[in-house]
Amino acid sequence: MSAENTPNTPTTDSLPNSETTDMKDEAIDPKAEGSVDQNNDQAESEAADTAFPRLIKTFMKRRTHLNKNAEQALTDPVYAKYIVNTMDDRGQGIIDDITDLRALFADTEQTSNGPDAPLTFEIGFGMGSSLIEMAKADPSRNFVGIEVHEPGIGKCAFMANEEGLTNLKIINGDAIALMQQLPENHIDRIQLYFPDPWQKKRHYKRRFVSPKRMEIVTRVIKNGGWFHAATDWEHYAFWMLDVLDNFEGLTNTAGQGNFTPRPDFRPMTKFEKRGIDRGHGVWDLIYSKD
């Protein structure tokens, strides 16, 4: 699907360098269910940034109900084979010692693929359902998911154990900070599905896809590897298309100016299907590293 022929093509006011008003449309966000008011969370997030200076956050840590299964996975040592790290006293995932994702699969008694198998890294997997489906469907590939929301981390680990997966690891923490300490040419595929669109213009600086952050992402992708993003926010879709099409070192696999049809390996979540049934668009972009 190209930017020229899609029926939902926005006006020039929708492009990332234009003066736009705040978007009011609701999106079907699989990670937002059960979240508290976004403005309150945003204020708390910015206050935390002031108290503990760090990179601008691309995520908003929501308070979400922790069910029994998720709580069990977060506290029972049985699930430690999936959850790589713990949190500090501020609730931040401790990632300082994670400098090699492939090393997480070195124990072949638990992870039969070993560290040299193709590696997919998912940023912000939400509650983990689609990540679990992908790991089940491609057992010869290793998967690492990173998330900041404890209910999602716990639920994903619980489901992984139920399925008996041996090719999945879960990290609690900030993906940008983690990637800065990983080796170059380290990951085969990085996927970013339905990230927070940060629809208000004053929050655009928090959007994950930006030239500065894509430098960090591209550095850790292997030559010939992929960056795959999907969103149900039209403005963010064309924002990403503009940023990525003009980013040196990446090539749009669907051709300049085009979106790609949803690939079979990306499961359609119930939230996505519900959105499509209501007339919402969904846009996929896949870029290969030159």
Region 22-39: mean pLDDT is 37
Q: What is the pLDDT of residue 61?
A: 53
Residue 46 labeled ligand binder? no
Q: What is the pLDDT of residue 199?
A: 86
From 25, 29, 97, 196, active-site residue: 196
Region 224-246: mean pLDDT is 97
Residue 269 labeled ligand binder? yes
Q: What is the pLDDT of residue 33?
A: 36
Asked if residue 285 has pLDDT above 60, the reply is yes
Residue 174 labeled ligand binder? yes
pLDDT per residue as tens digits for the range 42-92: 444 444 444 334 455 655 555 566 889 999 999 999 999 999 999 998 878
- Domain 68-289: CATH superfamily is Vaccinia Virus protein VP39 (3.40.50.150)
| Percent of all residues in the chain with a pLDDT value above 90, rounded to a whole number | 67
Residue 232 labeled ligand binder? yes
Residue ranges per structural domain of the chain: 68-289
Residue 271 labeled ligand binder? yes
**pTM for the predicted model, two decimal places:** 0.80
State which amino acid sits at residue 225.
G
Residue 116 labeled ligand binder? no
Catalytic status, residue 49: no
Where is pLDDT greater, at 129 or 51? 129
